[in-house]
Amino acid sequence: MLDRRATFWALLLPPLLWLGIFFVAPLLLMAAISFRADLSGEMLRPWVPTLVQYADLARVGSYWRLLGISALVALMIAMSATALAYPISYYLVFRAGSQANLYLLLLLIPFWTSYLLRVMAWKFMLGSGGVINSFLLYTGLIQQPLTALLYNRSAVVLTLIYVWIPFAALPIVAALQRIELSLFEAADDLGATPARRFWRVTFPLSLPGVLAAFFMVFIPTVGEYVTPLLVGGSRGSLYGNIIQDFFTKAGNWPFGSALSMIMLVFTLLLVALALRVVDLRRLVV
């Protein structure tokens, strides 16, 4: 029989290796490349670290502005997706009864199709010959198709909220399921109205799930680039699109890496700040 220490390492080593090789090492490599002047010569030749990429980046105000906009857009999407996912989760856990598993399955069905297809579907919804325009034209409410529905930042926000709702629901469902039902009885016995019971008992106890949902949406959305590319139009670009351009169009990895590192640090700072403002322990207790 393995002793405790050996078991510990046997269990920990495979995921640690996996994360190390495919997450930590590439991240370190990217950080290292951001301190490189250019990519000429051997890929792994030694180079003198330089801050030239960061100095170049500091000069372009529009990138910083776009980073701010991307964070705001991500904040809006994360808050909306979480807020919309909450009632769904609440219904699933407390109201759906024996149908809960069926509804959960229905919620997850969109995951069976590709992310790209789900984004493309919004082109069919919002396009000038799309579902919404055809309907409005049919009812005679408009004479010309509305062109303002697609190819702008609102379309990006709308699409991403839709894409993220099922993701956001999962941690909230998990948090709600953990709540002891006897706590509700206690609240009722003590004379709480249903609304008061929700705000004083249910909601605070589900907050860890809500926060998990929020950050799960917020963090990846700051760097989002596929959806703006498909439905964002000329003015819908986000910071992720700029990073993508330097990697896949310019082949300028050092500058792309510097842009990515700035985004990483910026996002981590925002999350740290948010966790400080929203004091988890104070809320839960």
The nearest distance, CB 83 to another protein, in angstroms, is: 29
Token pair in block for residue 88: 């769904």
Q: With respect to another protein, which residue has the nearer C-beta, 101 or 134? A: 134
CA distance to 32, 78, 121, 147, per residue, from 127 (Å): 43, 25, 10, 7
Q: With respect to another protein, which residue has the nearer C-beta, 66 or 75? A: 66
Q: With respect to another protein, which residue has the nearer C-beta, 216 or 242? A: 242
Measured between alpha carbons, how far is 141 from 38 in angstroms, rounded to an integer?
A: 57
The region, left, alpha or beta by phi > 0 then psi within -120 to 50, assigned to residue 251 is left
Measured between alpha carbons, how far is 242 from 234 in angstroms, rounded to an integer?
A: 13
The nearest distance, CB 145 to another protein, in angstroms, is: 9
Measuring CA to CA, which residue among 240, 182, 216, 253 is closest to residue 30? 253
Q: With respect to another protein, which residue has the nearer C-beta, 90 or 151? A: 151
Q: With respect to another protein, which residue has the nearer C-beta, 149 or 187? A: 149
Token pair in block for residue 115: 């992310």
| Residue 180: φ, ψ to 5° | -65, 125
The nearest distance, CB 61 to another protein, in angstroms, is: 9
Measured between alpha carbons, how far is 217 from 74 in angstroms, rounded to an integer?
A: 8
Cβ-contact 85, 169 below 8 angstroms: yes
Measured between alpha carbons, how far is 131 from 32 in angstroms, rounded to an integer?
A: 48
What are the respective helix, strand and coil percentages of the chain, to the nearest 5?
75, 0, 25
The nearest distance, CB 101 to another protein, in angstroms, is: 39
Q: Which residues bind another protein (CB under 8 A)?
A: 13, 16-17, 20-21, 24-26, 28-29, 38-41, 43-44, 60, 62-63, 65-66, 127-129, 147, 151, 229, 232-235, 237, 241-242, 245-253, 255
The nearest distance, CB 23 to another protein, in angstroms, is: 10
The nearest distance, CB 8 to another protein, in angstroms, is: 9
The nearest distance, CB 149 to another protein, in angstroms, is: 11
Q: With respect to another protein, which residue has the nearer C-beta, 176 or 262? A: 262
| Residue 213: φ, ψ to 5° | -60, -45
Q: With respect to another protein, which residue has the nearer C-beta, 235 or 282? A: 235
Cβ-contact 155, 231 below 8 angstroms: yes
The nearest distance, CB 266 to another protein, in angstroms, is: 15
Q: In this structure, what DSSP letter does residue 194 have?
A: H
Q: With respect to another protein, which residue has the nearer C-beta, 171 or 240? A: 240
